Structure 1
Amino acid sequence: MSTGHGADSAPAPSTADDDNIRTTDQGAAGRGTVGQAPAGQASVGHGDRRGAAAESAEPSQSSQPSQPSQSSEPAKSSKPSMFSSLKIRNYRLFAMGQAVSNTGTWMQRIAQDWLVHSLTGSSTAVGITTALQFLPMLLFGLYGGVIADRCSKRKLLFVTQSTMGVIGLVLAVLTLSGNVQVMHVYALAFALGLATVLDNPTRQTFVSEMVGPAQIRNAVSLNSANFQSARLVGPAVAGVLISAVGGGWAFLINGLSFGAPLIGLLLMRPGELHTSKPVRRGKGQLREGLRYVGGHPELLWPIVLVGFIGTFGFNFPIWLTAFTSDVFHAGAGTYGTLNFLMAVGSVAGALLAARRGQSRMRLMVGAALVFGVLEIVASLSPSYWLFAALMAPIGLAGLTFNVTANSSVQLASDPAMRGRVMSLFMMVFVGGTPIGGPIMGWITDTWGARTGFVAGGLISAVAAVAVALVLARLAGLRPAVSLRRGEPHLRFVPRTEVREPA
């Protein structure tokens, strides 16, 4: 892995403590400081890639932010407390603003899905809306990462959050005036996606600037818990508003909610941010980011898995609206309830992730496999109550996978490349929706909600198994099955060398 700014040497991949697997960093990365050499040139040597593929990299103990604050980062412990990142004032302001904004975002998501379904009666139309919202990420996502690496992230977030608030207010005016048409929703969803191209990688990497490397895992997990906690409130409030006065009020509240993160950004103390020097504008920076990811298996394969599951496994707006209206013959209240139950599991997964001291590849692929299997089981559920009961475990497994992949990729990235790496991460996670959304919507409309849901779960499970086998091979491991009581039934052990007879 490349060195970060100010690092004396590259951090070695973390050593596995299970199955007596030991991987060490055999390639020394070059020393460097800001502006001396392209970030992608100081990469891992061939000898350490197998170990890096097995476990995610740990942050360098010698890395220092360019503008450190004596009080901005709590002491690192072997196992952080669940809310340790909130001791940092800047991150606390950020989290409070995001809590308000995220609630409005979830209200708009539910209201928008239900509005499109009400206007058209088509799951494909819901899929098209979702696809248009994430199409800009697929087309321009990597450029968003390049811009994020070049600019002040705090200032850029102020622009993107303001733009997203205005889009919510425009949709509210159209809906409350009774003039909204499905084409309006399509256009505004695409506009929101354009803002997200810059907002997503900037917001993801700004977390590391607020908390420093020692708290990245905890802060990423709390970000997810924040987002999913809002999912507990937003859908419930949106369901009540849709039933009582219409979805336009949900759009209005969402637009106004962006004032909270804007105030938080204004109140931050810039001197306490762990900022790195912006990357100078230059040719080939996009290709440099792609080569950097391609040369680091600990980045490449988590992103590949995220791409498959984000494209085909996270199409819940399509499936849950179809199950609610076509299978259970219910209304917006039931749709909100299913989202609420999934959010309960997601919050639990995020809080559990916040207590973990490490992000392991085996946990990532295991959670992805469980996620896919649970989707298959839910799709075959004979009753509403069993289907609803499975929403929380699906949310827990999906959030555990997402948080583990996110924190692993951020920690394994050079700070100068982190914007481009996270833009690729977000591009494949949400940018695959324009491909998977219409496909899953078409399958759902043609063969039914159950077939669509089982297809998404099957693809997710197969992708998890395939990536697990690739990572095991890169790490020099092989699967071993044991039927002994008290031992794992399936585990990965080092390959044994077969000696030819003399």
Structure 2
Amino acid sequence: MEERASGAPRPRGGWRFGLRALSSRNYRLFFVGQSVSLIGTWLTRVATAWLVYRLTGSALLLGVIGFCGQIPTFLLGPLAGVLVDRWNRHRVLVVTQVLAMLQSLVLAVLALSGHIAVWHVGALMVFQGLINAFDMPARQSFVVEMVEDRADLPNAIALNSSIFNGARLLGPSVAGALIAVLGEGGCFLIDAFSYLAVIASLLAMRITPRTRTQGPQHVLTELKEGFQHAFHFPPIRTLLGLIAVVSLMGMPLTTLMPVMASQVLHGGPNTLGFLMAASGLGALTGALFLASRRSVRGLGGVIFTTTLLFGAGLLAFSASRHLALSMVTMVLCGFGMMVTTASSNTVLQTIVEERMRGRVMSFYAMAFMGTAPFGSLLAGVLATHLGAPRTLAIGGAMCLLGAAWFRMKLPGLRAHVRPIYQRLGIIPEVATGMDIAAERTGPRES
């Protein structure tokens, strides 16, 4: 969170600086597998939202379905983090991807057979939420095991975001046409097969077993330790709080997108696809911006600016009644949301202790995805009584307030983070002559 970016890029065996994490074989495999799988994931997201709205015509039920898919992450997140710190993260990811593939396959069979009902979608979304409760902290924590040089970790996180949002750009842009031609069930089936790519990439990796620095304690003891580490250290606590606000108040954007596309912009599934693709374009631009950065320093100011941008974009989208203008505001929203969350993730991954990584990443998952079900439910309720545009305007205003709160905290956060950056060698003039590799275990609680 320092104020200035620093350092010239290091040679990385011919890899351009913005792609330097791809010099690691395991990460390269993951990157390719995820690039394929995530396109299918976005097809399913668009198709699920459209299916529910087509079956019910209810903004409230859109919120309820979103709640079903995300509440397990909130309830099980802390426990999942403890277990991820204990288990082999590579094996956890293989299992979660196989289960997610089966979930999409069941959705496809029900939809293609014509027997699907809203309660089927809700039950399968709960199952997917259970998978995500373990998949998200395992995935976030596993990134550090895939890159050979810890200095490449910020770039790997940015590239993760770039493939996620590249798929977010491509997936929704074709989802509308695929829904029209193949129906929602066809999208679900494509998604099921797309998981084979990431499963194959995980199985092809060569992973060095991770060694724990201390033996496992009672689950509740480790859970308490994780809470203390996360919420007694101001930078972690503040970043998690900001992500929770942005996710809670920004989730109405995703939940109410079908309503805005249909009732406000008077379009169909293609309009929904255009809006989501515009958001994906902004997010991909943000990911490429982060991948081009040379240091984690300066991200505090970036987080403040992009949170402001996201809130302003939400307000503008709520007021727009023209597709072209709405797409422009969605680009702003996508950029702001992506850079805010990915920058926060990068800072958290940089300053956390390795033995606590799974637990802190589970709290990140709770803040990012775990609060989302409440945002989805709130969006459905408010939209039913106030309308979708006013609901989105409220969310945008709350994000602006969250940005102002974070800006007030920023000077104190920089004071806490600066000694950690010194130990890690991120501030080179202070770390000269230091054995950086020995110090890259993160901060100790005080």
Q: TM-score, normalised by structure 2?
A: 0.87
- Asked if 1 retains the 8 angstrom alpha-carbon contact of 2:252 and 2:391, the reply is no
1:299 aligns with 2:236: yes
Offset from partner CA, 1:152-203 (integer Å, 9 cap, x none): 1111111111000000000100000000000000000000000111100000
- Separation in 2, partners of 1:473, 1:220: 25
SS of corresponding position for 2:354: coil
2:183 is matched with 246
Q: Aligned AA for 2:241? A: V
Aligned to 2:69: 133
CA 1:280–1:254 in 2, change beyond 3 Å: closer, same or farther? farther
Q: Which amino acid letter does the alignment assign opposite residue 357 of structure 1?
A: R
SS at 2:104 equivalent = helix
Does residue 436 (structure 1) correspond to residue 375 (structure 2)? The answer is: yes
Residue matched to 1:288: 225
Gaps of 5+ in 1: 1-13, 19-57, 59-73, 478-502
Q: How many angstroms apart in 2 are the aligned matches of 1:317 and 1:463?
A: 19
What secondary structure, in the 3-state scheme, does the structure 2 residue paired with 1:255 have? helix
Would you say 1:168 and 2:104 are equivalent positions? yes
- Residue 315 of structure 1: CA displacement? 2.9
Report the Cα distance in structure 1 between the residues aligned to 2:370 and 2:159, rounded to whole angstroms.
Answer: 23
Displacement of 1:441: 1.5
Look at both structures and tell me which one has the larger radius of gyration over its CA atoms: 1
Structure 2 counterpart of 1:277: 212
Q: Superposition pairs for residues 131-210 of structure 1, below 5 Å?
A: 131-210=67-146
Question: Corresponding residue for 2:424?
Answer: none
**1:371 positional shift:** 0.9
Q: Percent identity?
A: 34
Per-residue deviation at 1:276? 4.3
Residues 1:107 and 1:446: Cα distance change in structure 2 (over 3 Å) = same
Q: Aligned partner of 2:126: which letter?
A: F
Matched, 1:402 2:314: no
Relative distance call for 1:443 and 1:277 in structure 2 (3 A) is same
- Deviation sequence 1:199-249 (CA, Å, 0-9, x none): 000001111111142111100000000011011221123211211121101
Q: Distance in 2 between matches of 1:473 and 1:155?
A: 39
Aligned to 2:436: none
In structure 2, relative to structure 1, the CA distance for the partners of 1:382 and 1:335 (3 Å cut) is closer
Aligned counterparts of 2:213 and 2:54: Cα–Cα separation in 1: 46
Does 1:381 pair with 2:381? no
- Conserved 8 A contact 2:49-2:62: yes
Higher mean C-alpha displacement, 424-433 vs 280-289? 280-289
Q: Which residue of 1 aligns with 2:194?
A: 257
* Residues 44-100 of structure 1 deviation map (CA, whole Å, 9 limit, x = unaligned): xxxxxxxxxxxxxx9xxxxxxxxxxxxxxx8679x9711111111110100111111
C-alpha distance in 1, partners of 2:161/2:252? 18
2:264 counterpart residue number: 327
Which amino acid in the other structure matches residue 190 of structure 1?
V
Q: Compare the two structures and name the one with the higher helix fraction.
A: 2
**Counterparts of 1:461-500 in structure 2 under 5 Å?**
461-472=400-411
Q: Which 4+ residue blocks in structure 1 deviate beyond 6 angstroms? A: none
**Cα 1:329/1:382, change in 2 over 3 Å:** closer
Give, in whole Å, the separation in 2 of the partners of 1:314 and 1:406: 18
Contact persistence 1:132–1:189 (CA under 8 A): yes
- CA distance in 1 between partners of 2:145 and 2:164 (Å): 19
User: What letter matches 1:340 in structure 2?
Assistant: A
* Per-residue deviation, residues 83-124 of structure 1 (Å, max 9, x unmatched): 111111110100111111101100000000000001110111
Report the CA distance between 1:383 and its aligned residue: 2.3
Deviation at 1:317, TM superposition (A): 2.6
Amino acid at match of 2:93: L
Pick aligned residue for 1:427 from 359, 366, 372: 366
Mapping of residues 8-27 of structure 1, within 5 Å: 15-17=2-4
By relative contact order (CA 8 Å, sep 6+), the higher-ranking structure is: 2
Q: Does 233-242 or 191-200 show the bigger shift?
A: 233-242
Tell me the residue number matched to 2:311.
372
Find the aligned partners of 1:428 and 1:130 in 2 and give their Cα distance: 16
Structure 2 gaps of 5+ residues are 417-446
